[in-house]
Each structure stands twice: as structure tokens, then as C-alpha cells.
């Protein structure tokens, strides 16, 4: 029971890291980014590239991989999303485009690195054992990194001009324009923060398990559940939602076969959509 | 300089769909003036402000601001030229605090924001007390103050207000009008759309009556107040 | 030469099956504006229901009809709660549903055979001598494609179809006219899912074998690409889209031998191209090849 709770917190931290970006992008760009999970995968593979193929140490490799993933999302905004925005493309056009992008990213990964599992070059890690309850060092690292990033995001959103403008944009995009906020610029910041958080989540996932081309796809449904649960556009809600989904998934293995973990997030997703579509913290 | 016009709209034609809502509207705003626009619901008053501020692209006509043709510029450019606009509704960022709302008003400025915020908060003492509260928690009147304060952050050379008194309790309406006069006294020309025709005309230098997207009447504020037609239609006999 | 012809026949069979499958989606999306991203679920449900019923002793022709009906009923089952949601939520829910269905197929071995799938079921064309089986299958598939097309054409030109179109164009107007939009949408998804079920059953007969991996979410995206490429809301376009799509898929399958590239790599590259095609279509030609730009309203 406590063991599952611990697994749940680790999984939940990873889901939360994905959910934050998805939620902000969903809200600010009106884009249901079906490619978001694939950015997590991309972050993990780029880190793998620097770490294993180019022999850098893992921390440096992760930093490079994560930054590169963020930069790629900025380029994509310049060459794709901004063009669609300027044409006035609506949310469904954007959604279908995102699915196309997801196919491209995932299959470029398969093309480059093959379809089978890979792993980082890690020193053998020991599990910490507290009276029979196992915690892996990577699990501890995951929770610590996720917590630090969330604190950092909170500071950005509350203390910096960019962060406040992101919240303003999320409140009312038209008013933000009228006010003179540089909307395109804030959108780039949103992409940068959102995708690099996703990439961190992907790297942490790879640390805890393995790296696979479809890992992001399998994380996507729980991430959607976390986003809807927390309320679209609410990064704090996404954090809490991620933890709730992660913990529920792992707890469910006590009574259900573990292959149905993902069904648990699906059921939560549907219930929230039907009962409180604005999310548990939503006021609207 | 041929006259002291700050802002001038000439024969504006604009609309949302194929249909034209404005059929050639012209107005002028001169230095130090309060100019009001009144007219029935759906006359195109809000549409006029949106076309001036670049939210709608005019199909015909010109918008001249400080002797410069700004027709068709996007709102973010127009803000930089020194015009501010407070829309009719959804004119604040509800999840931001009062202070943060004001700060967003000065987004395009590099510095001096803190001092300006403090200056505005002293002009709106009600807001001073609530500066760190979320705007969604404020009353309608206070929110309107936040919206006007936000628009004043850049010391604009012209301020557009769309129905600042809409939906407010009568005592608050008076307060809002006092604020408008006060802002104007500090040297900001204001173009204001209002339903509350009697009150706004009494503080306006000049006024325009719009109907069906066309200029119907115009004149000095006091004259319009005494105009029979205006009296019958908008001031309620 | 003989290999060439049999290859073309098997390609045409797949074209026919996917054309039927995509026609079901076109009814939902192209004509009604329903964002179903779990279309593959009904493809699988139809096939599994038919095969499982047949293995339980139900004669195959009855099992086929039952499979089609069950697929349609599942469409209703999903849509009843989910149709009240916004379009983007509906997309997420349906994609999730199709994944759950696939997990069920993978894990409930007692019923579905699990990852090994199901074989040993009756095939309707078993009386045909085996060297002509593929041709007979092709004729059957094309006949059913023509039948589906004609039925849809008649339906869409009927008053019912005109209401669907008006819903797609402007839901509020149809509501104001007193049409029960919800009921029409449910009917559309029921029929679309039943058509998907038929296609799924045909796929099972074609392979004489059933496996959860035939029902990956990717298959839904195949249908979307076919519909969008051909032009949303245009059934001829959907059929043309299916033809182009399968020609592309098979042409890029020839490589090993000619190109220094492995088949996994080739499969991946093919998907990259398909993804790029989808992006380019959405950016530059969202109305597709035969679609009508004026009529197409992507955002509802
Ligand atoms: N976003 C829009 N899309 C389409 N038509 C619009 C839109 N906004 C306003 N209209 C139409 O334009 C016309 C003028 O509207 P506008 O808002 O300018 O009127 P108004 O004079 O400001 O009225 P009110 O006193 O009610 O605010 C109305 O017929 C209205 O229906
Ligand atoms: Mg108005």
C-alpha cells in the first residue's frame, strides 16, 4: 500500500511535468497538443544521444537534450503554429495538425534510434530500503527535480513580467493584445517552458524505466486526465492533477491487473469531463 | 498643424461579416476634450471604437492619430503610438491582482512601472487597499477602476472608454464619471461611449449621436442635452 | 507476373476495406462534424464480436450482422455520455476509448485470445477454391464498398442527410429550427461505427486471423488522412483518398532490395511522410482534393 503510494508519487511527478505544459499550451494557444507526449520522448532520446552516443555525462546530456527539445518547439512555432494562428486557424485544425506532428516526431525517433528500448548510461543505482519499503534513487531524484521545477515555475508565474503576462494571456487573450502585451513572444515562452518541462519528464521516465519511441504516447492519456482534472490553463491544477492520476493509477494495481492502469486515468478523465468539465479547481 | 485634433476618424466603414455595421462614421477628438458617443443599442458605438483601435480593420475611411495615419494598424502597434482602450466588458485580467493588472498595462515599458503604479493607486484610493487582491474578488465598480487605471499606465495621448458605467449601481456611476473628469483634467483627451447620456453629455465638451452606423447628430455637450430629439430618444422625457 | 497480380489484388482488397472504414468516419466528421478519434475501436469491436460469436457456434452470416450491429451499439454507448462534451473533449475521450478497447483485447485472453489473437473461424467465401479466394474476396469487398457508398449517397440526399449537413454548418441554427441535434448526432455515429465494424470484419476475413495490433490508434489516423486528403464531406473524395493512400503505402513497401534501408526504417519514414502530409494539408489545403472550401467549416 505505502509502496504503491510511493510509486504513485514518482509516476505522478512525471505526469505532472507533462501536464503543466500541455495545460498552458491548451489554454494560451487553444491547441490540444497531441504531440506533447512525443516531446517527452524526444527529450529522453536527445539526452540518450548526448549521453550514450556522444559520451557526455548524464547531467550535461540531460541539460542539452532538454534545452534542444525546447528550442525545437520554438522553431516549430515559427514555421507552423504561428502561420496557422495568423490564418485564424481554429482549434480543430490545430488539433489535427498536432496529430500529424506527433506522427512525424515519433517516427523520426524510430527511424533514427529504432523501435526497441534503450537506456541511459547510468552507474548501477541502489534502492533505498526503509523497513521493507523500496525507493529507488531515481525515484527520489524524480520527485526532487519535479518539486524544484514546480517551485521555479511558481516563482516565474508570480514574480516575473513574462510569467504574469502568461497568466494575463490565459485570462483574456484579446485584452492582452489590446494592452500591448507581445502575445507572440509570450507564446514562445510558453512553448519553451512547457516543452522543456515535458522533456524533463521524459528524461526522468527514462531514468526510472526505459526509453521507448511510444513512451510519450502512453503517457499522453494520463496527462490529459491530469490537465482536465486540474482545469485547463491552471498549472497548479496540472501539478495536483498529475499527482492524483499517478497515485490512482498505482493504487489501482492493488485490485486491478496492472495492464489496466491507464483505464483508471481514462475513467477519471470521463468522470471529470461529465461532472465538472472546468476541473476540480475551476470557478467558471 | 491645422487644428488641435488628437484623433480623427474619417468616413469609417467596417463590419464583422459581409455586412457593414459602420456606414461612414466621422468623429474628432481634440486636445483636452471629453467627447461622448451616444446612440441606441446596436448603433455601432463599440464597433466604432474597435475600428479606431485596430481590432477591426476598417474597409474604408481613415483613422488619424496625432497627425499620423494609423488606419489598419494592429492594436499592439496602436498602443505603442500612445492610445489606450478600455473595452465594454471583460476589460480586466480577473486572476491577476490589482497591482499585476496595472503592471500589465505598462508591459511595453522597460522601467518606471513601480512609480507609475503607485501614482495610479493614489488616484484610485479604493484600489490601494486591495492592491494585492485578485480582481475577480472585486466589485464591478472597482473592476472598472482597475480597467481605467490599467489604460492610464502608459500616460496615453488619447483614451477610449466603452460604457464605463455599464452595470454599476447609481452611486458608483457618479464615482466613475468623477474619475473620468479627473483623468481628463490631468491632460488626457477621452473618447467615451455611454448609455448614460444625460450624465456623460453634462461632462462632455462635445458629443455625437450614432444611429444605424451613421452620424445622426453632433454638437456641444450642453446643446445636445437641450436638443429636443435627443431628449425624447435618449434622455427619457 | 503472377505475384504482381496477386499483390495488386491484395492491395485493392485493403484499399476497399479502408475505403469503407473511412466512409464511416466521413459520415461522422465530414457530414456531421463529430470529432471521432477512436474510430478504430469500432473496427475492432465489429471484427472481434463476429469472430467470437462464430466461435461460440453462431452461423457466420448471422455473426456478421450481429458484429455490425454491436459495433453500432458501442458507438451509441460511447456517444451517449460523450456527445454532451465539447469537440476537443470528445476527441480525447474517443481516442482514450479506443486504447481501452485495445488493452481489453490484449489482456482478456479468455475472450479475445490476448496478444495471440483469434483464428479458426468460418470464412464466408470458404466454398471458393483457394486459388480464387483472393479474387472472390476482392469482389466481395468492392461490392460492399459500392453498396456502402450508394446507401450513404441516398441517405445524405434524404431529408435526414440534409439535417446532418445543417448541423455541421451551424449547430445553433439547427437547434433553433427545433431539430434534435443530439439525436441526429447519435444516429450518425451509430451508423458510422457500424460501417467501421463491417470494415473490421472484412479485414479479419482477409487475414483469416485477428490480432489486437490490427487495431492500433494509428489506424484511426489512417482514416482521418484518407478523409481529409480526399476532402471532408465528400464520399467520392474519401474513396479517392483511400486509393491514393494505399498506393502510397504499398509503393513504399517494395524497397528492401532497391534501397539500402531496413523495413522498420522504411515503415517509420512512411509514417513521417504521412504526418507531414497531414500538417501540410491542414496548413495549405484543409479542404482536401475534392472538398469544397466554402462548405468546409473545420471549426465548430
Ligand atoms: N463580434 C461580432 N460579430 C458580428 N456582429 C457583431 C459583433 N459585435 C457586434 N455585432 C453587431 O454589430 C452591430 C453593432 O454592434 P455594437 O456592439 O457596435 O453596438 P453598440 O452601439 O455598441 O451597442 P450597445 O449599446 O448594445 O453596446 C450589432 O448589430 C451587433 O449585432
Ligand atoms: Mg457597445
pLDDT value of residue C300: 41
Pocket of ligand 1 (CB under 6 A): B 16-17, 21, 39, 41-47, 88
User: Which residues lie across from A38 on neighbouring strands?
Assistant: none
In percent, the amount of chain B with pLDDT more than 70 equals 97
pLDDT value of residue A135: 85
- The residues of chain A scoring below 70 in pLDDT are 124, 283-284
The answer to whether residue B209 scores a pLDDT higher than 90 is: yes
Task: Find how far residue A82's CA is from the centre of its chain.
Answer: 22
pLDDT value of residue A68: 98
C57, with CB counted inside 10 A (0-12, 13-18, 19+), is: exposed
pLDDT value of residue A242: 97
Whether C276 contacts A111, CB under 8 Å: no
pLDDT value of residue C129: 87
Number of domains within chain B:
1
Confidence of residue B82 (pLDDT cuts 50, 70, 90): very high
pLDDT value of residue B236: 61
Confidence of residue B235 (pLDDT cuts 50, 70, 90): low
What would the DSSP string read from start to end of chain C?
Answer: -HHHHHHHHHHHHHHHHHHHHHHHHIIIIIIT----S-HHHHHHHHHHHHHHHHHTT--HHHHHHHHHHHHHHHHHHHHHHHTTS-HHHHHHHHHHHHHHHHHHHHH-HHHH-GGG-B-----TTTTS-GGGHHHHHHHHHHHHHHHHHHHHHHHHHSHHHHHHHHHHH-HHHHHHTT--HHHHHHHHHHHHHHHHHHHHHHHHHHHTSB-GGGG-HHHHHHHHHHHHHH-TT-HHHHHHHHHHHHHHHHHTTS-BTTBS--HHHHHHHHHHHHHHHHHHHHHH-TTTTT--TTT-----
In percent, the amount of chain A with pLDDT more than 70 equals 99
Q: Which domain holds residue B198?
A: 2-234
The rounded distance, in Å, linking the Cα atoms of A181 and A169 is 9
pLDDT value of residue C295: 56
The rounded distance, in Å, linking the Cα atoms of B22 and B42 is 11
CATH of the domain at B169: 3.40.50.300
pLDDT value of residue B226: 85
- The residues of chain C scoring below 70 in pLDDT are 1-3, 254-260, 293-300
Q: What is the mean pLDDT of residues B200-206?
A: 92
Q: What is the mean pLDDT of residues B105-118?
A: 91
ipTM strictly over 0.95?
no
Ligand 1 atom 17 nearest Cα = B46
pLDDT value of residue C127: 84
Q: Give the helix/strand (H/E) hosting B159.
A: strand B158-162
d(CA B47, ligand 1 centre) in Å:
6
The rounded distance, in Å, linking the Cα atoms of C17 and C154 is 21
Chain B residues with CB-CB distance to A179 below 8 A = 79, 104-105, 107, 150
pLDDT in tens, C33-82: 899 999 999 999 999 999 999 999 999 999 999 999 999 999 999 999 88
Whether C168 contacts C32, CB under 8 Å: yes
> Cβ B154–A180 below 8 Å, yes or no?
yes
Ligand 1 atom 2 nearest Cα = B16
The rounded distance, in Å, linking the Cα atoms of A75 and A79 is 6
Q: Mark out the alpha helices in chain A (DSSP H runs).
A: 2-29, 36-48, 58-76, 82-86, 91-113, 137-159, 161-171, 173-179, 183-208, 215-230, 235-252, 261-275
pLDDT value of residue C67: 97
Chain A residues with CB-CB distance to C224 below 8 A = 96, 99
Confidence of residue B237 (pLDDT cuts 50, 70, 90): very low
Amino acid at each position: 500500500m505505502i509502496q504503491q503510494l510511493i510509486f504513485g508519487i514518482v509516476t505522478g511527478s512525471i505526469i505532472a511535468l507533462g501536464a503543466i505544459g500541455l495545460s498552458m499550451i491548451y489554454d494560451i494557444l487553444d491547441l490540444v497538443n497531441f504531440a506533447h507526449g512525443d516531446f517527452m520522448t524526444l527529450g529522453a532520446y536527445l539526452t540518450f544521444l548526448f549521453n550514450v552516443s556522444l559520451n557526455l555525462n548524464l547531467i550535461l546530456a540531460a541539460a542539452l537534450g532538454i534545452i534542444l527539445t525546447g528550442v525545437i518547439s520554438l522553431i516549430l512555432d515559427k514555421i507552423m503554429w504561428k502561420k496557422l494562428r495568423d490564418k485564424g486557424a481554429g482549434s480543430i485544425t490545430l488539433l489535427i495538425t498536432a496529430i500529424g506532428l506527433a506522427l512525424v516526431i515519433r517516427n523520426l525517433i524510430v527511424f533514427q534510434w529504432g523501435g526497441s528500448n534503450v537506456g541511459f548510461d547510468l552507474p548501477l543505482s541502489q534502492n533505498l530500503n526503509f523497513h521493507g519499503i523500496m525507493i529507488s534513487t531515481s525515484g527520489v531524484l524524480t520527485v526532487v527535480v519535479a518539486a524544484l521545477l514546480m517551485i521555479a515555475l511558481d516563482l516565474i508565474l508570480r514574480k516575473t513580467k513574462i510569467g504574469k503576462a502568461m497568466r494575463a494571456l490565459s485570462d483574456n487573450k484579446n485584452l492582452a493584445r489590446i494592452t500591448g502585451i507581445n502575445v507572440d513572444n509570450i507564446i514562445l515562452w510558453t512553448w519553451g517552458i512547457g516543452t522543456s518541462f515535458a522533456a524533463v519528464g521524459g528524461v526522468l521516465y527514462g531514468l526510472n524505466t526505459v526509453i521507448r519511441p511510444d513512451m510519450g504516447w502512453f503517457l499522453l492519456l494520463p496527462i490529459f486526465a491530469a490537465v482536465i482534472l486540474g482545469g485547463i490553463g491552471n498549472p497548479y491544477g496540472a501539478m495536483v492533477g498529475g499527482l492524483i492520476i499517478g497515485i490512482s493509477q498505482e493504487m489501482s494495481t492493488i485490485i486491478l491487473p496492472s495492464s489496466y492502469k491507464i483505464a483508471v486515468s481514462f475513467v477519471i478523465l470521463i468522470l471529470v469531463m461529465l461532472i465538472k468539465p472546468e476541473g476540480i479547481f475551476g470557478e467558471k | 498643424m491645422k487644428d488641435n485634433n488628437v484623433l480623427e476618424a474619417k468616413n469609417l466603414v467596417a463590419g464583422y461579416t459581409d455586412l457593414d455595421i459602420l456606414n461612414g462614421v466621422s468623429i474628432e477628438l481634440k486636445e483636452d476634450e471629453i467627447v461622448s458617443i451616444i446612440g441606441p443599442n446596436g448603433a455601432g458605438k463599440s464597433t466604432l471604437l474597435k475600428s479606431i483601435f485596430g481590432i477591426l480593420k476598417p474597409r474604408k475611411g481613415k483613422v488619424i492619430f496625432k497627425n499620423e495615419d494609423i488606419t489598419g494598424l494592429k492594436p499592439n502597434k496602436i498602443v505603442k503610438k500612445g492610445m489606450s482602450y478600455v473595452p465594454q466588458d471583460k476589460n480586466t485580467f480577473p486572476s491577476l491582482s490589482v497591482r499585476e493588472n496595472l503592471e500589465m498595462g505598462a508591459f511595453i515599458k522597460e522601467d518606471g512601472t513601480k512609480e507609475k503604479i503607485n501614482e495610479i493607486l493614489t488616484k484610485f484610493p479604493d484600489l490601494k487597499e486591495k492592491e494585492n487582491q485578485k480582481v475577480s474578488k472585486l466589485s464591478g465598480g472597482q473592476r472598472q477602476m482597475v480597467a481605467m487605471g490599467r489604460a492610464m499606465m502608459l500616460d496615453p495621448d488619447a483614451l477610449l472608454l466603452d460604457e464605463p458605467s455599464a452595470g454599476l449601481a447609481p452611486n458608483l456611476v457618479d464615482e466613475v464619471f468623477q474619475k473620468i473628469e479627473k483623468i481628463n483634467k490631468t491632460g488626457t483627451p477621452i473618447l467615451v461611449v455611454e448609455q448614460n447620456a444625460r450624465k456623460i453629455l453634462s461632462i462632455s465638451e462635445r458629443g455625437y449621436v450614432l444611429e444605424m452606423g451613421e452620424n445622426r447628430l453632433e454638437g456641444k455637450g450642453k446643446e445636445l442635452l437641450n436638443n429636443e430629439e435627443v431628449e425624447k430618444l435618449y434622455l427619457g422625457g | 507476373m503472377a505475384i504482381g497480380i496477386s499483390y495488386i489484388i491484395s492491395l485493392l482488397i485493403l484499399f476497399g476495406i479502408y475505403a469503407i472504414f473511412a466512409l464511416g468516419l466521413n459520415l461522422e466528421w465530414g457530414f456531421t462534424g463529430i470529432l471521432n478519434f477512436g474510430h478504430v475501436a469500432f473496427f475492432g469491436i465489429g471484427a472481434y464480436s463476429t469472430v467470437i460469436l462464430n466461435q461460440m457456434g453462431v452461423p457466420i452470416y448471422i455473426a456478421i450482422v450481429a458484429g455490425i450491429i454491436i459495433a453500432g451499439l458501442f458507438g451509441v454507448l460511447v456517444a451517449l455520455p460523450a456527445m454532451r462534451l465539447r469537440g476537443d473533449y470528445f476527441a480525447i475521450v474517443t481516442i482514450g476509448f479506443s486504447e481501452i478497447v485495445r488493452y481489453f483485447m490484449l489482456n482478456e485472453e479468455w475472450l479475445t485470445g490476448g496478444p495471440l489473437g483469434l483464428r479458426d473461424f468460418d470464412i464466408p467465401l470458404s466454398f471458393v477454391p483457394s486459388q480464387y479466394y483472393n479474387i472472390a474476396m476482392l469482389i466481395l469487398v468492392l461490392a460492399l464498398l459500392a453498396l456502402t457508398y450508394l446507401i450513404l449517397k441516398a441517405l445524405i440526399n434524404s431529408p435526414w442527410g440534409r439535417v446532418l449537413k445543417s448541423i455541421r454548418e451551424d449547430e445553433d441554427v439547427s437547434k433553433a429550427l427545433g431539430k434534435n441535434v443530439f439525436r441526429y448526432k447519435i444516429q450518425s455515429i451509430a451508423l458510422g461505427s457500424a460501417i467501421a465494424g463491417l470494415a473490421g470484419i472484412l479485414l479479419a476475413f482477409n487475414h483469416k486471423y485477428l490480432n489486437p495490433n490490427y487495431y492500433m490508434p494509428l489506424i484511426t489516423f489512417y482514416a482521418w488522412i484518407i478523409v481529409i486528403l480526399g476532402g471532408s464531406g465528400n464520399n467520392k473524395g474519401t474513396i479517392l483518398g483511400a486509393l491514393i493512400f494505399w498506393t502510397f503505402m504499398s509503393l513504399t513497401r517494395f524497397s528492401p532490395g532497391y534501397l539500402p534501408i531496413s523495413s522498420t526504417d522504411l515503415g517509420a519514414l512512411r509514417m513521417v511522410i504521412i504526418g507531414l502530409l497531414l500538417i501540410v494539408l491542414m496548413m495549405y489545403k484543409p479542404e482536401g482534393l475534392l472538398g469544397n472550401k466554402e462548405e468546409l467549416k473545420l471549426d465548430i
